[in-house]
Amino acid sequence: MKFLFTTALVAMGLSGGAMAQENVDFWYETANPDQQRWIQELLIDGFQTANPGFGLTVDYRGNELDKQLRIAMLSGSGPDVVFTPGPSYVAPMAQNGQLLSLEPYAEQFGWNESILPVFLEMGRYDGTLYALPKTYETIGLYYNKTLFAENGWEVPTTLAELEVLADTMMEAGIQPFSAGNSDWRGANEWFVSIALNSVAGPENVYAALTGQIPWTSEPFVEAINTLNGWWEKGYFGENYFSIDSGEQPMDLLATGQAGMMPSGTWQFQNVPTYFNQAGTEPGFVGFPSADGAPVFALGVGSTLSIAATSDVPDGAAAVIGHIFTPDFYSAMGSQWQGEWNMPLSDLSDVMMADTVLPLYTEAMANLAQSVGEGSYGYTTWTFLPPATNSYLINGIEEVWLDQITTEQYLAEIDANFQTEMGEGKVPSIPAR
Euclidean distance between CA atoms 337 and 417, whole angstroms:
33
Q: Is the pLDDT of residue 35 over 70?
A: yes
Q: Is the pLDDT of residue 14 over 70?
A: no
Q: Which residues contact 351 (CB under 8 A, 6 or more apart)?
A: 1, 2, 330
Query: What is the per-residue pLDDT for 347?
Result: 82
Q: End-to-end CA distance of the chain, in Å?
A: 36
Query: What is the per-residue pLDDT for 365?
Result: 83
Euclidean distance between CA atoms 191 and 379, whole angstroms:
10
Query: What is the per-residue pLDDT for 16?
Result: 39
pLDDT band, very low/low/confident/very high, at 338 (cuts 50, 70, 90): confident
Residue pair 93/305 in contact by the 8 Å Cβ criterion: yes
According to DSSP, the β-strands at 175-177 and 128-129 are unpaired
Mean pLDDT of 68-89: 91
Secondary structure (DSSP) of 169-228: HHHTT-EEE----SS-GGGHHHHHHHHIIIII-HHHHHHHHTTSS-TTSHHHHHHHHHHH
pLDDT-wise least confident of 245-254, 337-346, 399-408: 337-346
The total of other beta-carbon atoms located within 10 Å of residue 211's CB is 13
Task: Supply the mean pLDDT for the chain.
Answer: 92
The total of other beta-carbon atoms located within 10 Å of residue 32's CB is 9
Q: pTM, whole model, 2 decimals?
A: 0.86
Sign of the torsion angle spanned by Cα atoms 171, 174, 176, 177: positive
How does pLDDT run across 159-211, given as a tens digit for each residue? Answer: 999 999 999 999 999 999 999 999 999 999 999 999 999 999 999 999 999 99
Sign of the torsion angle spanned by Cα atoms 29, 363, 160, 410: positive
Domains and CATH numbers, the chain: 4-136+300-368 (3.40.190.10), 138-298+375-422 (3.40.190.10)
Euclidean distance between CA atoms 409 and 413, whole angstroms:
6
Q: Is the pLDDT of residue 217 over 70?
A: yes
Q: Is the pLDDT of residue 7 over 80?
A: no
Euclidean distance between CA atoms 345 and 44, whole angstroms:
24
Query: What is the per-residue pLDDT for 85?
Result: 84
Query: What is the per-residue pLDDT for 374?
Result: 80
How does pLDDT run across 135-148, given as a tens digit for each residue? Answer: 989 999 999 999 99
238 secondary structure, DSSP code: S
Mean pLDDT of 366-392: 90
pLDDT-wise least confident of 67-81, 148-162, 179-193: 67-81
